[in-house]
Amino acid sequence: MAILVIAEHDNASLQPATLNAVSAAVKIGGDIHVLVAGSGCGAAAEAAAKVAGVAKVKVADAAHYADQTAENIAALVIANAAGYSHVIAPATTGGKNFMPRVAALLDVAQISDIVGVESADTFVRPIYAGNVLATVQSADAVKVITVRTTAFEAAAEGGSAAVETVAAAADSGQTKLVGRELTKSARPELTAAKIIVSGGRGVGNSENYHALLEPLADKLGAALGASRAAVDAGFVPNDYQVGQTGKIVAPQLYVAVGISGAIQHLAGMKDSKVIVAINKDPEAPIFQVADYGLVADLFEVVPQLTAAL
Amino acid sequence: MKVLVPVKRVVDYNVKVRVKSDGTGVDIANVKMSMNPFDEIAIEEAVRLKEAGTATEVIAVSAGLAGCQETLRTAMAIGADRGILIETDAELQPLAVAKLLKALVDKEQPKLVVLGKQAIDDDANQTGQMLAALLGWPQATFASKVMIAGDKATVTREVDGGLETLEMSLPAIITTDLRLNEPRYATLPNIMKAKKKPLDTVTPDALGVDVAPRLKTLKVAEPAKRQAGVKVADVADLIAKLKNEAKVI
């Protein structure tokens, strides 16, 4: 049995999500190969070769993989899928974008966002915003799987896999990237952060969000997150959103400030190790999942907290 | 230009579902059903394209039990021109739905299919991408802004690092994210008008599609409940607990 893991990377390095996907592959068991598709992605391929548990790295280096368009990545995966029992990618916006294309072209189901491996054909995945866990068994010859990264430890370094070049597939030319506005931040990446400070509607506006939460995040070395309400209201960009349809996070410490705790938000953070909630409404649902709740006016206590740390 | 918008009938987003006591599934008898919120955004976007003169006809499609007619009427109350129900009592998984939609696309020849990015019941996030693959069309998933000019679509997408904008030729598939638009409320006169709009029914058999599920659900369970913790008195108490008890700072 051999497993093909599709790497997420920025050409220069592997994104940590790839390491979680490799761990899921290790749980399934078998020879693990990693496919790195990119443009000038030699360094990412070398990094993949050093991941413990990886037996082989396949690299397709071509200009038309620079933008990771779903059409081109899916075609490449299909061209390299023969002989694999499982094709795996992290359930990032990248993996979510191209993997269903792969599954449909192979005429198999996709098993989305798995949080557990029961056996080579049986997996656990959350449904209904994580309020229910379903154990599903696939009858297909190839299992196409996306992995919820927070549910699997990152694979360690320590491998020395062979790196092999594979031919690029034809450029579909169907989509063209015309612009990218990536949020620039010196803070840790949200899904990889050990501590997250997250703000909700209660913060009031964008100025307050930045004035109150940034100093706190700076003191804690934390990433910044937000509820859907805060993103919809324009306090922060979309990539801050934690929740059912945003980012799924599981840090050591999650500090929820002015977040009421709708089930859609809880779906994105309830696997955090320690949850702190600061909210002036003692009835807010966030307190039902918080390890430490502080019922108080956030405008008073957040500066106090920042000053005291 | 015709626009096709698939809509799914799901348990309302405000309902907290319960697992059946025998663990075979989720109890959805007698709970409020609604249109999947992302699909509402898809319908709204298509209707706006029609109002802007870009689209000529908006067709809503739903697959499932007869109750999906209600979802189609809601889509028509928002502004879809007609509805198609693919009626079946079979369990439908995303690949099967993508195949059913492909059969309808082959028949109706829309230039654009707008879908919700995921359904809030199975949280699969697959159907749009699968349909794009089966049709060999370009896709723009997780859209937060859509511009159609002539034969080109320019779509801004919400991705992990921020936003990216793709350009593609039609026909194409677009899946909606939360901030693409804010769907209008259907007004009473529009709800009444929607009752008179055409609603056709077809079956998977008539479309020549095998909808047999590929995944078997062995069991469902509720995840371990997180215990509510304690309320702290003040900031000093909180910091002491985080340092000494939880040891996370």
CA dihedral A94, B92, A265, B77 (to 10 degrees): 110
A233 inside 8 A of chain B by CB: no
Q: Residue A275, annotated ligand binder? A: no
pLDDT confidence of residue B227: 86
Nearest CB among A128, A175, A264 relative to B166 is that of A175
Q: Which tops the pLDDT comparison, A80 or B16? A: A80
Q: Is B15 on the interface with A (CB under 8 A)?
A: no
Q: Bridge partners of A114?
A: A147
How far off is chain B from A218, nearest CA to CA, in Å?
Answer: 13
Of B121, B130, B222, the CB nearest to A103: B130
- What is residue A91's predicted lDDT score, i.e. its pLDDT? 97
Structure tokens at B180: 């693409």
Q: Bigger pLDDT: B224 or A47?
A: A47
Burial of A276 (0-12, 13-18, 19+ CB in 10 A): buried
Per-residue model confidence as pLDDT tens digits over B218-229: 999 999 988 889
pLDDT at B228: 84
pLDDT tens digits, residue range A107-127?
A: 999 999 999 999 999 999 999
Task: Give the per-residue pLDDT at B225.
Answer: 87
Q: What is the pLDDT, as a whole number, of residue A220? A: 97
CA angle B89, B93, B99 (to 5 degrees): 95
Say which DSSP state A273 is in.
Answer: S
Closest-CA residue of chain A to B37: A245
The minimal CB distance from A100 to the residues B126, B161, B214 is found for B126
Contact (Cβ atoms closer than 8 angstroms) between residue A33 and residue A60: no
Which residue, among B85, B67, B69, B75, has the nearest Cα to B29 in the 3D structure? B67
Would you call A112 an interface residue with chain B, using a CB distance cutoff of 8 Å?
A: yes
Do residues B200 and B85 lie in contact, with contact meaning Cβ atoms separated by under 8 Å?
Answer: yes
> With an 8 Å Cβ cutoff, are A104 and B239 in contact?
no
For A140-212, where are the alpha helices, taking DSSP H only?
Answer: 206-208
Residue A152 has pLDDT above 90, yes or no: yes
Model confidence band, residue A245 (pLDDT cutoffs 50, 70, 90): confident
Per residue of chain B (249 residues), what is the pLDDT tens digit?
A: 999 999 999 999 999 999 999 999 999 999 999 999 999 999 999 999 999 999 999 999 999 999 999 999 999 999 999 999 999 999 999 999 999 999 999 999 999 999 999 999 999 999 999 999 999 999 999 999 999 999 999 999 999 999 999 999 999 999 999 999 999 999 999 999 999 999 999 999 999 999 999 999 999 999 998 888 999 999 999 999 999 999 999
CB distance from B24 to chain A under 8 Å?
Answer: no
Query: What mean pLDDT value characterizes chain A?
Result: 97
Whether residues A295 and B154 touch (CB distance < 8 A) is answered with no
Cβ–Cβ under 8 Å, residues B5 and B115: yes
Count of residues for chain B? 249
Q: What are the phi and psi torsion angles at A265 (to 5°)?
A: -75, -45
The two beta strands, B152-159 and B162-169, are: antiparallel
Pairing of strands A175-182, B162-169: antiparallel
Q: Give the model confidence (pLDDT) of B152-169 as tens digits.
A: 999 999 999 999 999 999
pLDDT reading at A183 higher than 90: no
Nearest to A301 by CA among A224, A233, A202, A207: A202
Report CB contact under 8 Å: B138, A99. no
pLDDT tens column, A7-33: 999 999 999 999 999 999 999 999 999
Can you give the pTM of this predicted structure? 0.96
Mean pLDDT for the stretch of residues A174-198: 94
Is A261 labeled as ligand-binding? Answer: yes
- Mean pLDDT of the region A172-181: 96
Q: Given pLDDT bands bounded at 50, 70 and 90, which one contains residue A1?
A: confident
B226 contacts chain A (CB < 8 A): yes
Q: Decide: A244 and B178 in contact? Cβ < 8 Å.
A: no
Q: Is A244 within 8 Å of chain B by CB?
A: yes
Is A145 annotated among the ligand-binding residues?
Answer: no
Instruction: Quick: pLDDT tens for A274-300.
Output: 999 999 999 999 999 999 999 999 999
Please name the member of B38, B93, B160 whose beta carbon is closest to the beta carbon of A239. Answer: B160
This complex has an ipTM of 0.96
- Span A252-257, mean pLDDT? 98
For residue A129, what pLDDT band results from cuts at 50, 70 and 90?
Answer: very high
**Shortest CA distance to A100 belongs to which of B117, B204, B120, B53?**
B117
- Optimal mutation site among B27, B142, B238, interface A, most CBs of chain A within 10 A: B238
Q: Which of residues 82-111 of A touch B (CB under 8 A)?
A: 92-94, 96-105, 107-111
